[in-house]
Structure 1
């Protein structure tokens, strides 16, 4: 397995950066899997493990990149970093597909997309509307931002958040900096985007050993609430879909993912793992998870 630093341009001329993985012995154009991460997460946060596994076990290239405004990727001039606009991220995913297709070492007719958590929703959307996609792997996905928002945010906090959204919009219209909020906090009663103990444990650990920053714009949370990633899930077919969920997901609730999966059409596969949201990335679940995904890729992309 060989890894190279890469960069590519989005449709609105923003430079995104990441890694391109290729089997060492490869001498011909191979299928390519494009991988992107979830809410505020960086490519270093376990995506390298998935890409390394796939390229070491399969005749497959992998393209991994940081979302705009995060990690090594740029943001558009005049826009704040650490801001998550779903429509921009799904558009950027299609631009990553275009970049992969432009490479001579990629089989342009065999592109798959892999997303986890927030981007697990993005690949559902993109897989339905971008017909270049030949396989969709959606891991612990955020399928409905409105429902997800109201699971994460206590009902008695919603009015205060609505007021904060309004104040932030007015301030930004006056040219003031975007309001920021923590992604996680040790105290789940304090304002944060992901107020759950397992989110705190996962992200605070990565904060110590990576360039991950514990902040997003307040607008990112407002945009989460308006995002319905599963709106087109029934239109992914006939592109094959694999959805991976965990039994006790608090960050992207299990029942919401299963409800969305029930609306998808064949061909589709469902993998259910024990544990919570972040246990899909590492630990005892990893080998079981990634080997199941590799078999799906063998069956539908290679």
Structure 2
């Protein structure tokens, strides 16, 4: 049903699962921050493939099976470059029509979707699922579920990690999620659903659920929803109204500002599309893909060139 493929991004090897499809269209999938391709995409990738789509689900560099050292570091500029390389790879797959490439991401990668779709003309459709559209808004909302002392400890660890990186030290890691009062990237009630949603029964024991603490210092400055007005392709923004981790109001605003944006609301928290809201989420996304990739295919090949992914705001 799927095979490993490899592609090069800035000289670093990225590893992906390739599910060959039959309808000519391809969905490229990137998982949430610090999440590898299996726990982050398997459940949706299988459904897209069953519907006839080729799927290319990849690990960002420094994560999972992809190369790059040091490990467990999230750098926006690098991840944007990995998206571009994945799109280039998808366009060369023998069964794929390069005019029918869609991108899909959730959480942090859902935020990337805004920026990638705005700056890469090869993207024919884009799905942002429970996206991190505005880092400042998300942290302000999520901070209500953390204790002040723990926030100070987290900031201190982030500073130590960033300073240590200048001297070549190994990253200081923090868990992706934890109880309020612990030092973790997220401590919202719905963030604690992450393991149940993505890794039930420890199905993916090799997934290292930690990232370098320095990411927490950069996250407030990441506001990809601002790129939504420049997205020219159809854009689906799937929002969960009780999302405590990713500021759904910012995602709704971004979707409404997109030229061809569609905003769909579902009940539940950040991981609801992997849990109780899975069926309506899949149905919504498959309907969107069918309408924009199959029913009304693009008649011209997209421009080969891509937009400016220069590193801004210290996010690289």
Which residue of 219, 228, 253 maps to 2:223? 228
Work out the CA distance in 2 between the residues paired with 1:247 and 1:149.
Answer: 17
Q: Cα 1:180–1:198, aligned 2, differ >3 Å: closer, same or farther?
A: same
The CA deviation at 1:160 is 5.1
Partner of 2:304: none
Partner of 1:189: 181
Q: Gapped runs of 5+ residues in structure 1?
A: none
Pair 1:5 & 2:7 matched: no
Work out the CA distance in 2 between the residues paired with 1:179 and 1:49.
Answer: 31
Q: Do the aligned residues in 2 keep the contact of 1:36 with 1:64 (CA within 8 Å)?
A: yes
Pair 1:14 & 2:9 matched: no
Work out the CA distance in 2 between the residues paired with 1:51 and 1:159.
Answer: 39
The CA deviation at 1:155 is 8.3
Instruction: Please show how residues 134-283 of structure 1 align to structure 2 within 5 Å.
Output: 134-153=124-143, 154=146, 156=148, 161-185=154-178, 187-203=179-195, 206=199, 208-210=202-204, 211-237=206-232, 239-265=233-259, 267-283=260-276
Q: Which moved more, 1:162-171 or 1:190-199?
A: 162-171
Work out the CA distance in 2 between the residues paired with 1:50 and 1:201.
Answer: 17
Work out the CA distance in 2 between the residues paired with 1:281 and 1:98.
Answer: 28
Partner of 2:312: none
Work out the CA distance in 2 between the residues paired with 1:165 and 1:127.
Answer: 30
Residue by residue, what CA displacement relative to the aligned partner does 1:228-255 show, whole Å, maximum 9, x if unpaired? 1112110002x11111011100111221
Work out the CA distance in 2 between the residues paired with 1:166 and 1:47.
Answer: 32
Query: What secondary structure, in the 3-state scheme, does the structure 2 residue paired with 1:199 have?
Result: helix
Q: Which moved more, 1:168-177 or 1:31-40?
A: 168-177
Partner of 1:41: 35
Q: Do the aligned residues in 1 keep the contact of 2:256 with 2:262 (CA within 8 Å)?
A: no
Residue by residue, what CA displacement relative to the aligned partner does 1:162-188 show, whole Å, maximum 9, x if unpaired? 444433332222222222212122x31
The CA deviation at 1:152 is 2.3
The CA deviation at 1:161 is 4.5
Q: Cα 1:299–1:74, aligned 2, differ >3 Å: closer, same or farther?
A: same
Pair 1:53 & 2:17 matched: no
Instruction: Please show how residues 82-97 of structure 1 align to structure 2 within 5 Å.
Output: 82-97=72-87
The CA deviation at 1:13 is 1.1
Query: What secondary structure, in the 3-state scheme, does the structure 2 residue paired with 1:109 have?
Result: coil
Q: Superposition RMSD on alpha carbons, in Å?
A: 2.0
Q: Do the aligned residues in 2 keep the contact of 1:86 with 1:223 (CA within 8 Å)?
A: no
